[in-house]
């Protein structure tokens, strides 16, 4: 790890010491920021290093969340078993659809993943065993730490995603991804197995996103298709990435925290016009700082 | 026989409206190579324009179509010049995020002004219908059908017979080639965006007559316009008609045989499969848009 990366790593570890100082409100804001961080870091592996914008990445958030919830509710499995399974199911599904899906590029790829996300949401809303449009109720977490456990789970996930980003930044695997990003045909000519590498990068994104969905499901204890396959969450991930800086290890964290804090401040100050301001914010970020605060 | 003729009629009437509704989306995508995620909300903006004119001044929503068109035209040109031109130079998917932001902004603005209640334009002829042989025909649907056909025809003539239309098609075919013969792509982009947004706004008048609407129905309409464009292929009137009819049949038949709830899923599934297997569309030529 380089100097900056080590600094960020220790800052993240230090965040674990914060909770005793926090009010419930700030604990919630930080937990949300960490969730968005993990999602943005996940997307960064794909968009930042491989150059594929999975605009509908929240599809995997939903898959992870629903798998975890259904395993807990229908099979009675404990959360600690259900969550990893949720992540793995999400990653395997990604691995399965990646080869045909990743023949598409740029906005065609983006919109296809979005179609997948919306279609899965509709499917879940129409099926019986997923609870339909009414959604699923989960047991409330009782155990050591209380609700603080979710803060730590998202923190752990963020650290895991961050380390994965650092690995991609420095490893041969990462160089192959970057080669695909810069020029896929050239990469293939040089002997990079592009289909395999793209698919693995896609599954890495899906793994973290799925795990994040699983933690989120247990955190809010009630999930429905609208909240688990929300397009607004997709766009928030992308805006966080753009704001922070795509293709860097620090950018996604910076973007996610900035966006979540901005969003919270706006929510608090102007609850009625929150949506209007959020829309305006997205437009302004794309217009003014499309390359982000932290440049590659 | 039984219900079948009725379903086919409904599909045809609805499909023709969808064709006209999606024409603007398809044009913008084909010519500018942008996917405008705010498109559905443009339609809703048109519906609210017609609603306001009807409840405020008593203007029939079908008569205020030219007004909606002009409003959309100016809005589209303005957006293109102020926002989209700047972002088009970046990665194409940046336009996706920009227009999504625009969609969030516009739909929430509508919600602020009109509240989230379902609105409908209750024209006096909304309920009238008559029977021909085995089918019941709702007058208002027939009216919308003919107007859609007429307006789609008008767009066809504009694209085929006028110099504006020819330059739009030229830019869609080959941007650099068009520049060599003296067409300014910047102007064509503004005109196409204006025309497309105008089409969206004016189809909003028809949509408002057909059914109730809320500020947040735009997303679903964007998906419909997208499906019509991807099935038929981009930027051509014939393609939009083919795609529109396809969507009409898909929706009416899924809703009848599987239930209303599966309608949107069916559209999304078909859209996903088309993108995956044949992103050029059924009729798409190789030069419209790029994959």
ipTM, 2 decimals? 0.86
What pLDDT is attached to residue A296? Answer: 61
* pLDDT of B291 above 60: no
pLDDT beneath 50: ranges in chain A: none
Task: Taking each helix axis as running N to C, give the angle between helix A194-220 and helix A148-170, from 0 to 180 degrees, rounded to the nearest 10.
Answer: 170
Chain B interface test: which of A134, A283, A289 (most B C-beta within 10 Å): A283
Length, in residues, of chain A:
296
Nearest to B95 by CA among B232, B202, B193, B23: B193
| DSSP 8-state secondary structure symbol assigned to residue B262 | G
Pair B44, B275: CB distance under 8 Å: no
* Residues A94, A85: Cα–Cα separation, whole Å: 14
Minimal-distance CA residue of chain B relative to A109: B275
**Where are any strands of DSSP class E within chain A?**
136-137, 222-223
What pLDDT is attached to residue B201? Answer: 96
**pLDDT tier, B282 (very low <50, low <70, confident <90, very high otherwise):** low
Residue B232 or residue A187, greater confidence:
A187
Element (H, E) at A227: helix A225-228
What pLDDT is attached to residue A41? Answer: 95
Pairing status of strand B135-138 against strand A222-223? unpaired
Contacts of B231 (CB under 8 A, 6+ apart): B242, B243, B246, B247, B270, B274, B281, B282
Task: Taking each helix axis as running N to C, give the angle between helix A24-43 and helix A148-170, from 0 to 180 degrees, rounded to the nearest 10.
Answer: 30
Handedness of CA B266, B272, B278, B279 (dihedral sign): positive
Q: Which residues of B touch A122 (CB under 8 A)?
A: 262, 264-265, 268
What pLDDT is attached to residue A76? Answer: 87
* Residues B211, A122: Cα–Cα separation, whole Å: 22
CA angle A238, A241, A245 (to 5 degrees): 145
Domain map (residue ranges) of chain B: 4-277
* pLDDT of B286 above 80: no
The residues of A whose Cβ lies within 8 A of any Cβ of B are 53, 55, 100-101, 104, 106-108, 110-112, 115-116, 118-119, 122-123, 125-126, 231-232, 235, 238-239, 242, 272-276, 278-283, 285-287, 290
Q: What is the mean pLDDT of residues B45-69?
A: 93
Scanning B211-279, the segments in alpha helix (DSSP H) are 218-232, 237-257, 263-277
Residue B169 or residue B290, greater confidence:
B169
* Residues A255, B100: Cα–Cα separation, whole Å: 18
What pLDDT is attached to residue B287? Answer: 43
* pLDDT of B118 above 80: yes
| DSSP 8-state secondary structure symbol assigned to residue A141 | P
Chain A interface test: which of B101, B109, B262 (most A C-beta within 10 Å): B101
What pLDDT is attached to residue B261? Answer: 85
* Residues B279, B291: Cα–Cα separation, whole Å: 7
Phi and psi angles of residue B213, each rounded to the nearest 5 degrees, phi first: -150, 155
Pair B200, B207: CB distance under 8 Å: no
Q: Which residues of B touch A107 (CB under 8 A)?
A: 34-35, 92-93, 95-96
**pLDDT tier, B222 (very low <50, low <70, confident <90, very high otherwise):** very high
* Residues A249, A170: Cα–Cα separation, whole Å: 11
Q: Which residues of A touch B92 (CB under 8 A)?
A: 106-107
What percent of chain B stands above pLDDT 90? Answer: 50
**pLDDT tier, B12 (very low <50, low <70, confident <90, very high otherwise):** very high
Q: What is the mean pLDDT of residues B138-167?
A: 90
* pLDDT of B25 above 90: yes
Element (H, E) at A151: helix A148-170
Contact B219 A231 (CB under 8 A): yes
What pLDDT is attached to residue B132? Answer: 83
What pLDDT is attached to residue B5? Answer: 87
Instruction: Report CA dihedral (A263, A268, A270, A274) to the nearest 10 degrees.
Output: 40
* Residues A284, A286: Cα–Cα separation, whole Å: 5
Q: How many CB atoms lie within 10 A of CB B126?
A: 14
What pLDDT is attached to residue A270? Answer: 76
Pair A97, A79: CB distance under 8 Å: no
Chain B interface test: which of A117, A282, A285, A289 (most B C-beta within 10 Å): A282
Contacts of B124 (CB under 8 A, 6+ apart): none
Beta partners for residue A136, in sequence order = A223
**pLDDT tier, B283 (very low <50, low <70, confident <90, very high otherwise):** low
What pLDDT is attached to residue B1? Answer: 60
Burial profile B225-262: b = 16 or more Cβ within 10 angstroms, e = fewer: bbbbbbbbbbbbbebbbbbbbbbbbbbbbbbbeeeeeb
Residue A291, SS3? coil
For A17-65, what is each residue's pLDDT tens digit?
A: 888 888 888 888 999 999 999 999 999 999 989 989 999 999 999 999 9
What pLDDT is attached to residue A156? Answer: 95
* HEC profile of A173-231: HHHHHHHHHHCHHHHHHCCCCHHHHHHHHHHHHHHHHHHHHHHHHHHHCEECHHHHCCH
What percent of chain B stands above pLDDT 70? Answer: 96
Closest-CA distance, B60 to chain A, in angstroms, reads: 30
Length, in residues, of chain B:
291
What pLDDT is attached to residue B285? Answer: 53
Q: Write down the mean pLDDT value for chain A.
A: 89
What pLDDT is attached to residue B205? Answer: 93
Residue A265, SS3? helix
The residues of B whose Cβ lies within 8 A of any Cβ of A are 34-35, 83, 86-87, 90-98, 100-109, 111-112, 219, 223, 226, 261-262, 264-265, 268-269, 271-272, 275-276, 279, 291
* Residues A108, B93: Cα–Cα separation, whole Å: 8
Closest-CA distance, A229 to chain B, in angstroms, reads: 13
Q: What is the CATH number of domain B4-277?
A: 1.10.3470
Minimal-distance CA residue of chain B relative to A101: B276
* pLDDT of B290 above 50: no
Phi and psi angles of residue B89, each rounded to the nearest 5 degrees, phi first: -70, -25
Contacts of B261 (CB under 8 A, 6+ apart): A125, A126
Pair A161, A38: CB distance under 8 Å: yes
């Amino acid at each position: 790890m380089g100097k900056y990366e080590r600094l960020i790593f220790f800052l993240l570890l230090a965040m674990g010491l914060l909770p005793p100082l926090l009010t419930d409100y700030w604990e919630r804001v930080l937990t949300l920021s960490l969730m968005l961080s993990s999602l943005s870091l996940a997307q960064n592996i794909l968009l930042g290093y491989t150059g594929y914008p999975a605009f509908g990445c929240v599809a995997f958030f939903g898959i992870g969340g629903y798998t975890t919830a259904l395993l807990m509710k229908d099979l009675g499995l404990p959360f600690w078993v259900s969550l990893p399974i949720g992540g793995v199911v999400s990653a395997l599904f990604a691995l399965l659809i990646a080869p045909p899906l990743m023949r598409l590029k740029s906005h065609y790829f983006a919109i296809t993943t979005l179609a997948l996300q919306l279609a899965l949401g509709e499917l879940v809303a129409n099926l019986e065993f997923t609870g339909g449009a009414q959604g699923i109720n989960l047991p409330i977490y009782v155990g050591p730490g209380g609700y603080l456990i979710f803060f730590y789970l998202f923190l752990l996930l963020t650290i895991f995603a961050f380390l994965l980003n650092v690995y991609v930044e420095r490893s041969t695997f990462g160089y192959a991804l970057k080669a695909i990003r810069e020029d896929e045909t050239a990469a293939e000519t040089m002997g990079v197995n592009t289909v395999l590498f793209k698919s693995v990068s896609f599954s890495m994104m899906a793994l973290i996103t799925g795990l994040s969905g699983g933690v989120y499901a247990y955190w809010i204890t009630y999930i429905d298709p609208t909240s688990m396959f929300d397009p607004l969450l997709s766009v928030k991930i992308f805006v966080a990435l753009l704001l922070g800086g795509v293709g860097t290890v620090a950018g996604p964290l910076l973007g996610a925290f900035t966006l979540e804090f901005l969003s919270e401040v706006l929510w608090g100050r102007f609850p009625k016009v929150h949506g209007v301001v959020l829309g305006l914010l997205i437009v302004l970020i794309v217009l003014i700082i499309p390359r982000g605060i932290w440049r590659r | 026989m039984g219900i079948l003729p009725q379903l086919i009629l409904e599909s045809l009437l609805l499909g023709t409206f969808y064709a006209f509704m999606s024409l603007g989306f398809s044009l913008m995508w084909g010519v500018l190579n942008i996917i405008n995620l705010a498109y559905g909300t443009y339609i809703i903006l048109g519906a609210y324009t017609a609603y306001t004119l009807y409840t405020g001044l008593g203007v029939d929503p079908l008569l205020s179509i030219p007004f909606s068109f002009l409003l959309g035209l100016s809005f589209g040109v303005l957006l293109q010049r102020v926002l989209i031109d700047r972002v088009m130079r970046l990665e194409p998917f940046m336009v996706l995020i920009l227009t999504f932001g625009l969609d969030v902004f516009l739909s929430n603005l509508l919600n602020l002004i009109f509240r989230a209640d379902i609105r409908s334009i209750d024209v006096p002829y909304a309920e009238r219908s008559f029977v021909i042989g085995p089918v019941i025909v709702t007058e208002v649907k027939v009216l919308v059908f003919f107007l859609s056909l007429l307006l789609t025809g008008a767009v066809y003539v504009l694209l085929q017979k006028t110099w504006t239309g020819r330059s739009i098609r030229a830019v869609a075919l080959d941007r650099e080639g068009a520049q060599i013969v003296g067409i300014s792509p910047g102007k064509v982009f503004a005109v196409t965006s204006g025309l497309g947004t105008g089409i969206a706004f004016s189809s909003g008048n028809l949509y408002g007559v057909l059914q109730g609407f809320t500020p947040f129905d735009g997303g679903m309409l964007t998906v419909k316009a997208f499906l019509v464009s991807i099935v038929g292929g981009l930027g051509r009137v014939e393609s939009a008609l083919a795609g529109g009819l396809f969507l009409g049949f898909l929706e009416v038949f899924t809703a009848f045989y599987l239930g209303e709830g599966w309608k949107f899923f069916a559209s999304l599934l078909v859209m996903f499969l088309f993108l995956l297997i044949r992103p050029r569309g059924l009729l798409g030529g190789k030069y419209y848009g790029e994959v």
